[in-house]
Each structure stands twice: as structure tokens, then as C-alpha cells.
Structure 1
């Protein structure tokens, strides 16, 4: 798996397969009857790979229901538990732990992917195993379970792994976790310091300059020379950051004249990737054959326009549910639509028209309008009906009044 210079694998959150509910799995590693490691977590993955068309593909999936503890898992004399989780067609996720007299830690995460698995890696140019790992230091005290409900992203070569709903413990007291917890920093609520007139400064906000509405771009994705995704939209990225006591907001438009569009499609997933010199933006759609609909479930943003600790700013969310539409139809929204990616990142979409599945003859299917457009059309109808009713009431009152005035006179 080579990573091209123009493509950067983007960010934290991810999804394995396209299950509607992200599964939290429980695993036990034993030496005889003694449990040396008890772990519960869900895992999402984002993987970039080379395709036979010499393009970068991206696949998002989450730990599936068939995930199970591999026989390669071991307690290693109770000092270095190893959990190996096997899933799918030859894939595995491994966690290496170690312990001392007072604490334990998860010190390495390893992912093995079988690129021969065409259900995940459509048109992959490789046919071998890809192995990548990352050293970590996730520590907790003995006789406590480590808990982290928040998403924790791990970046590796061509791969992002996001762990969530995590709870694990080395040498648990029984078949369940200790009552005492070591809580991750991300789960600790932020407590604002008490305000005093002498010491507290009001946070300052740097106003972003006024940005004009973006220009609408027209994009399409083809699979074997057949159009499988159509999209037209004007896009604006909004990123808020806070450094110390200062808040800043960066707003910038996606210029369709400087964008390179690519992507891939399958029966249940479609990806549109927009890339320019400074920014990569990925939209991930999934299809639900049971409910006969599709929706936008993932957005990935990577940009050098917003520095983040000396690196490019990266963010991803693959648990979204936007733009839901019936399969075979297209979604349209002329009104501005805010696609919230995280609490501090959003995409403002204007003049949106998209269809990622069942595109026939390279043309959009029947349009399903967003509720905002329907409301915009409904308001003038209601106002018009109210005015017509008011005119009718005035006319009836006038006729009744005129009739009564004539009744007061006698014919001579």
C-alpha cells in the first residue's frame, strides 16, 4: 500500500462494514481458568489502498459481528497479555499489554489486513497482507479498569483506527471488571474555573472575515466507465478553534475550478473525494437495501489551511445520518444546509443535488426535496391562502353591509 503525495489518509473516526449499529465486543484472554485480560470496545477503521485504476481507494468499516478472539491470544505468564481479534476474510486487530507491580498499559496496536478480500478492497492492485502497527502508552492502575467512552483515534500508515466505548483490565478480580475505574482524560468533564473580577478574562473571539457564498461544482464518479455517483453542490468549510483564551473561526470555500474529483462505488457504498492543493474532502454514502434508502454517513476533512499543532488539521466522522433518500432517487436541497461533522467543524452546502446509487444513463433519478425547500414553498402558499381568505371575508362583509343599507329604504 503506497501513499501518494497528493493523497493523505485523513483522520480519526472510521467505520468497518456498513452496519447500522456500531458493535461493542467483549473478549477474554485466559491462562487455564484465570483471566489475564478482559476487554470491551468497538473499533472503526479507515483504510486507503491502491486500485487497479492507479487511484487511491478508501474504505470505511467497523468491527463486525464475526469478530472473535484468535488462538494467537495469550497471557504470557500474566505479565504481557496479548489479545488478537480475528474478523472477516483474514483480517486481525492485535493489542499488546504489559504490567508492572502497580499498573498496566496497552503499548502496541497492530492491524493486519488481507487485500485479497474484494468485499472490502474493491479493485485492489495488491493481493497480499498489509501489516501496520503503532506504539502506544495507555496506562491504568492495577485493580482498576481502564474506561474511555469517547472516541480515541490511532493513526498508522494508510490506516486510521478509532476505538470507542472502551473498557479493559489486566488481571481483573473475577469474570468482570473492578468497580474502581481509571477514566481517560477525554471523558473527564471540563470544569470552568470560578469567575472573579480580578483574575478572569473574558474569552476573546477573532472574527473571521466575511466570505462570499461558494461556487457550485459538478462532480461524478464512474465504475468501469459507468457513472455511479452524481453530485452538484457549493461547499464551504467552517472550523472553530480555541487556543488558551482565544477563539478563532476559519471559513473557506471549495473552489470547483481547482478541485480534482475521484471516488469509488459498490452496491452498498459510494465515495466522493474532492482534492485541491491544500484540502481533501471525502463524502461517504451507504445504501440500506432493507429500507431501500441511502444516506451520507461519513465526512472526512484534511486541510493545511488550518494549522493544528504544527500538522495539517484533520477530522472525520463516520456515524452521520444526513441526506437520506430513497434508492434510485436523487436528493436536492437549494437552501443552505449545515452538515455538522464535529462540535467545532461543519460544512455549509448550497444548491445541493446528489445521487450515489442506481444512476441510470448518467442522469439523476426522481428528485426528493429537503424539508427546508418544502417549507420555503409552503410559506408563500400559506401566505397567499391567508390573503385570499382575507379578501373573501372583506368582500362578503361588504356585500352583507350593502344589502342591509338597501333594506332601510322604501320604493316610491
Structure 2
């Protein structure tokens, strides 16, 4: 779909306004909090620049248009004359103006419109400023991460100081659902670089942003999820040479980690012991092409969370800008459980955009209630074409854990095959030795039978 002239104007002029206001120091940082009682659920520290295109009123052309309409009435609404009047009407309202303004330090949270998400409503942060203007962010939680699902901007064209000679009046509302702001739960989203979000005939550029929703405390979490723009290096590129870059070194076998999830009473309800290796295909910023990378999960740098239920359980592993989510399902009729879903969110420094992959119809690691599943042999779990997961020395038990220990294990077919091979080889060698021994005894007996007593 091609860009409209209005979008082209925004693309061209917005960076210019941003640069000018940054140089002049016009943008201001504001702190906004949504509270429920004495607890803070949403907090944002940011600067925001609003760039709005609106149509203006041409008084001369308006007078001509009014005369044209009166003439049209006298001419009994001639079709040709009506067409000329409508063409003139486009002249009246076609001129456009652009206005740029930043959130003032007097910006405040609208407590009536903002919400922590009670009664099934999504969490909302609504900031009000000026003469009837508002900026809103709605949030949602998906598994182990939260995101800004919508940005809403309301601007009041009746504000003649901000919109001089506007041909309209009243509040205009524009919405964008392509925001691209997300982070793991209990993590602060941080982005110092300017981030522009377009909505209708407006654009909002955030900078110096620190933001968190679903907060566990009243202050931003010290753990941060850094946006991709901040992760790119600003150093000058090296002088091109003819040296071919070496192939990336394989990461080797990952370390084995022990992970557990506790229920509301503090009892361990899920146990896992495994080494994990991510196999991801993504578009590289440095190479400007799709690359495949193996990344080991370091258990010493991993934060574990999750939940336990009677028929579903989850294990969430978060390592800096990477979140890996396992979902286990139980069949209450057969008392069998299996790994039914894997979700990966990654925002690595070389990625052109955050990577997301999910599959909720898997059937891996199947075992019986009251037993754990074990597979020491390396397994490859295919999730989507661009992402697979390699497991090493794995043992999991998502249901029926007692005394914080694994129950007796059901071994995977790969381990059984690995054990069967030496048995088969040993049996073959024993058989070969037996055959040689029998042949030797038969040969010896025949040689003795050839001698006759004199």
C-alpha cells in the first residue's frame, strides 16, 4: 500500500521538528503514575513530541464558495454548476498546516479514565494537558510479557492557540495499534532513542522513555528491557577490507540448570533440569540478511517464574532480553501430560526487530502423572520454521511433584535406543565368541578322530 501525501509530509517534517526542538531544549520530561489505592500499577517517565497536521480555513475562498452556493440555488442546482461549487469547496478547506508541541510539565494523569485493569478492563494510562488534549496508552499481558496495545491521541481543534485558523472544532481522536513497546513482566522498558508512532494525521515521538505496567512495587524495576534502537552501536564503521569474516564459533553444549515453580502456598509444583540451546533465524542488522544463530541459555543469568494448575502448568525463563515460555497440558482422562506450547520472545542487539515465535499445538515430552520425563540424549524440538529448541540432559515433572523431588522417570525413546545399542553389540560379540569356541572344539575333535591305535 502506497503512502498518502499526508503520511509523506509527516515522514519528512517530523524528524526536522524533532531535531529542532531537541536542539532548542523545548521537549520536557514528565512523570506519570496510575495508582490503585496506595499501590502504583503503571509508571512512565518520558518526553513526548506531538506533530499534527490539520486543515485551515481560507476566508476569501469561503466567501466565494458561499456566493457560489447562492448562485447554485438560483440556477436550480445545475449539475455543472454544482460540480464547480464543489471544486471551489476543495479550495476552501484544502490548505493544511502543521503544528508541533511537546507534553508540558503540567501534564497530569486523568484518574477517571486511567485504570489498573480491574473488572476485566485493560490497564490504561491517560495523560491530559492543555485545552482538552489527551494522550492514552493501553496495556495487555501475554504470558510472561506486557505490551502497549494501543496509543490514543485526542486533540481539540477548538484550541485556537494551538490550531490557529482551523476549519474544524471539537475533539479529534486518532488511534494506533502498531506501537512496538513490550518488555518481560517485572522489567522496565527503557528507550532513550526517539521512537515515532503515527496515528491518523498525527505522529507522537517518545524519547528518554522508562515505562512499566503490572508493577510489583511502587517504583520502576531495576531490571531493564532495552529497546533495539538503544542497542545499536553509534561508532563509525570500520574501513572495508578484503578479509573474510570468520564463521561464528558454535557455543558448545549448554550448562545444565535446575528450575522450579512454587504455588501460592510456597510448595514446589513444577521441576525441571535441563540444558537449553536456542536455534533462531532472524534478519541481521550488521549483515542485512537472514542469519541462523545458536544461543545457549545460561542458568546463572536466568530468572524463573511460572504457574501450576490442575490441567495446565507453565515455566517461564527470562534472561535479559530473552523470554522462553513452556506450557504443559494434562489429560485428566488418561492421566498423561505433555509439552503443548513453547513461546520465545527475543530482542537481541543485532536483530532488525524483536523476534517472536509461538506454537501451542506441540506434543513433546509425554509422560504419566506421578512420574517425571527424562531424556539425557540431545533432542531437537521444532517450534516454527525459524525457531527450534535443543535440549540436553533433560528431566521435567510439571504435575504431581512431592517433597520437591523428581518422581521415578519414564525415559525417552532416544535414551532407550542408546542403551539398546551396547546390549546388541555385547550380545553380538558374545555370540561370535561362542561360535568361534564351538568351531574350535569341533575342529579339535575331528583332528583327534584321524589318529588310529597300532
**What TM-score, normalized by structure 1, do the two folds share?**
0.51
Counterpart in 2 of 1:338?
Answer: 380
CA 1:251 to 1:306, structure 2 compared with 1: closer, same or farther past 3 Å?
Answer: farther
Distance 1:267 1:286 in 2: 9
Cα separation, 1, equivalents of 2:246 and 2:340: 32
1:158 aligns with 2:144: no
Query: Which of the residues 128, 142, 145 maps onto 2:119?
Result: 128
Q: Who is 2:424 aligned against?
A: 382
Query: Does structure 1 residue 351 correspond to structure 2 residue 334?
Result: no
Give the paired residue count.
225
Distance 1:316 1:208 in 2: 26
Q: 5+ unaligned residues in a row in structure 2: which ranges?
A: 1-39, 42-115, 125-137, 144-244
Contact 2:122–2:139 (CA under 8 A) maintained in structure 1 = no
Q: Deviations over 1:80-105 (max 9, x none)?
A: xxxxxxxxxxxxxxxxxxxxxxxxxx
Larger relative contact order, structure 1 or 2 (CA cutoff 8 Å, min sep 6): 1
Aligned residues: CA RMSD: 2.9
CA contact (8 A) 2:117 2:123 kept: no
Residue 306 of structure 1 and its aligned partner are, at CA, apart by 6.2
Question: Is 1:283–1:299's contact at 8 Å kept on the other side of the alignment?
Answer: yes
What is the rounded CA distance, in whole Å, between the counterparts of 2:288 and 2:350 in structure 1?
Answer: 17
Aligned residue runs from structure 1 range 67-216, under 5 A: 128-131=119-122, 157-159=140-142, 207-216=247-256
- Contact preservation (8 Å) 2:274, 2:394: yes
Matches within 5 A, 1:211-222: 211-222=251-262
Corresponding residue for 1:401?
A: 443
Match of 2:271 among 210, 230, 233: 230
The structure richer in strand per residue is 1
Deviation at 1:247, TM superposition (A): 4.0
| Cα displacement (A) at 1:360 | 1.1
Check the 8 A contact 2:377/2:392 in 1, yes or no.
yes
Change (3 A) 1:306 1:370: farther
Could you say which residue in structure 1 is the equivalent of 2:340?
297
Segments of 5+ residues of structure 1 without an aligned counterpart are 1-53, 56-124, 134-154, 161-204
- Residue 283 of structure 1 corresponds to which residue in structure 2? 326
What is the CA–CA distance in structure 1 between the aligned matches of 2:295 and 2:440, rounded to whole Å?
58
Runs (4+) off by over 6 Å: none
Q: Match of 1:324?
A: 366
CA contact (8 A) 1:281 1:300 kept: yes
Kept in 2: contact 1:329–1:355 (CA 8 A):
yes
Residue 246 (structure 1) shift: 4.3
Q: Which has the higher helix share?
A: 2
Q: What is the distance in 2 between the residues matched to 1:129 and 1:245?
A: 43
Aligned to 2:425, what secondary structure does the other structure show? helix
Cα 1:314–1:398 change in 2 (3 A) is same
Instruction: Please state how far the C-alpha of 1:206 moved relative to its aligned partner.
Output: 9.1
1:245 CA drift (Å): 9.2
Could you say which residue in structure 1 is the equivalent of 2:357? 315
Q: 2:326·2:343 contact (CA, 8 Å) conserved in 1?
A: yes
